[in-house]
């Protein structure tokens, strides 16, 4: 018996609603993630071998946030 057979119909509807809404991730959330990465790296939360990946991700996130900010400023 699979887990899907045990799902209550109400739970199925809730899951479908969550999928229809899409992800709830805002620019403010991404900015907070950038700050979290910055603080974590300052506190030594990452191993040396992980820093390349962390740095690349941080730089991509920073570039994205800069581009979004520039678009918002042009539209205002």
Q: Is residue 8 part of a domain?
A: no
pTM of the predicted model over 0.75 = no
What's the pLDDT at 49? Answer: 94
In the predicted model, is pLDDT for residue 7 greater than 80? no
Pull the structure tokens for residue 47. Answer: 């191993």
Tell me which residue range forms the domain holding 57. Answer: 23-75
What local confidence, expressed as pLDDT, does residue 37 receive? 96
CB 33 within 8 A of CB 61: yes
Condensed to tens digits (0 to 9), the pLDDT of residues 15-74 reads 666 666 777 899 999 999 999 999 999 999 999 999 999 999 999 999 999 999 999 898
| pLDDT for residue 17 | 64
| 18 domain-assigned | no
Does some domain include residue 33?
Answer: yes
Q: Look at the chain and report how many structural domains it folds into.
A: 1
Instruction: Tell me if 7 is assigned to some domain.
Output: no
């Amino acid at each position: 018996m699979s887990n899907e057979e045990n799902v209550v119909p109400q739970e199925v509807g809730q899951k479908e609603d969550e999928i229809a809404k899409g992800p709830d991730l805002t620019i403010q959330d991404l900015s907070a993630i950038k700050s979290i990465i910055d603080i974590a790296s300052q506190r030594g939360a990452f191993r040396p071998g992980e820093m390349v990946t962390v740095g690349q991700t941080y730089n991509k996130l920073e570039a994205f946030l800069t581009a979004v900010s520039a678009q918002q400023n042009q539209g205002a």
